[in-house]
Chains A and B, each alone.
Chain A
Amino acid sequence: MAETIEITPAMQAVVGVDSAPWAFEVTTTSVRAFARGVGYTDPVYFDEAAARAAGYRSLPCPPTYLGTPVFIPGKSSDTFSAPLDTGPRLRHGLANVLDGGTETEYFADVCAGDRLSVTTRVSDLSVKKSRATGQMLVVTNTTTYTNQDGVVVAVQRGQGLYY
């Protein structure tokens, strides 16, 4: 638990810098695995015939699922599966992380067979006080998902709470 957290100029310099793109795949298998993980029973997320009958090209992404980052050992986070080192690394030295919140805006559907190009940036840094953990560094990330046709299909903002 940190007594005081300082946002240094080196940390501030990371804000607003886009990462290099990374490929996120959407496959029938990955859609089923996510839907199963949430506990869906809706056949549209599992059965391609049911998905087509409901008007989709293939299995649609369930809400909050936006593809699985291609995993490459050494280049991907072993814990979170996200790509490492595609953008500037935010160095804060805080060991613990909690999820603060997530917001996603959708602009087009995403279905199995799509391949998304994903860039992310730290869009905001702030410090807040929490009763449970003392000071926390609030890191807001903005992630943009673009499909194989160049269409931005979703923008997601997430807050990581570091302490």
Chain B
Amino acid sequence: MPLTWDAFKEGDELPVRLKAPGVTQLVKYAAGSGDFNPLHHDFAFPQSQAIGSIIVHGRFKYAALGELVSNWLDHGGRIVKLACQYRGMDLPDREMTLRGRVVRKLEQGGRRQAVLELSVTNADGQNTTPGSAVVELRG
């Protein structure tokens, strides 16, 4: 069901999404995005060896936050702005918890927008990828 303006309020949490992308999923993301940095699929790559593992693309986490918001909107609106920072590395096959919360609802000039706070939390409870979004509802 496409999201409507009256169906949510400030403080609401978006449905949580769990992800634990393995190497195969990261290879699919590499192919889909065109980012073939070996740091995301090749354990023998010098930077992977220095870090001790391949790491999840920051942009995979950015896209996954986009997916979290897209699933919530269910095409009842559009994303106006989406941002995140890559503060910590995430490793393959480790569970990441993606969360979103409605911080503000604003109606001005006939536009109905909501500001969201987003996060990607690793298994140790660390928010590796704080983010935010602005969405605009259709109805």
Contact = CB atoms under 8 A, between A and B. Distances in A.
A109 B84 contact: no
The residue among B34, B58, B70 with the most chain A CB atoms within 10 A of its own CB is B34
Interface residues of A, number: 37
B67 interface: yes
Given A38-B63, A64-B59, A104-B81, A80 B34 contact: yes
Contact of B67 (A54, A63, A96, A103): A63
The residue among B31, B33, B59, B84 with the most chain A CB atoms within 10 A of its own CB is B33
A63 B71 contact: no
Given A68-B34, A79-B37, A63 B63 contact: yes
The range of chain B's interface size is: 35 or more
Given A37-B29, A37-B33, A102 B67 contact: no
Interface of A: 30, 33-40, 42, 44, 54-56, 62-65, 68-69, 71, 78-82, 96, 98-106, 109
Interface stretch (B8-16, B72-80, B104-112): B72-80
Nearest to B17: A39
B71 A42 contact: yes
B26 to A, nearest CB: 8
Contacts of B21: 39
A80 B36 CA distance: 6
A37 B28 contact: yes
Given A38-B64, A44-B75, A64-B66, A99 B58 contact: yes
B62 A102 contact: yes
Contacts of A40: 67, 70
A55 B86 contact: no
A79 B35 CA distance: 6
Contacts of A78: 36
A38 B36 contact: no
A101 B63 contact: no
Given A34-B32, A81-B36, A99 B59 contact: yes
B28 A36 contact: yes
A35 B32 contact: yes
Contacts of A98: 58, 86
B70 A101 contact: no
Contacts of A81: 34-36
B25 A39 contact: yes
Contacts of B63: 34, 37-38, 62-65
A36 B32 CA distance: 7
A102 B83 CA distance: 6
A72 B80 CA distance: 32
B84 A101 contact: yes
B30 interface: yes
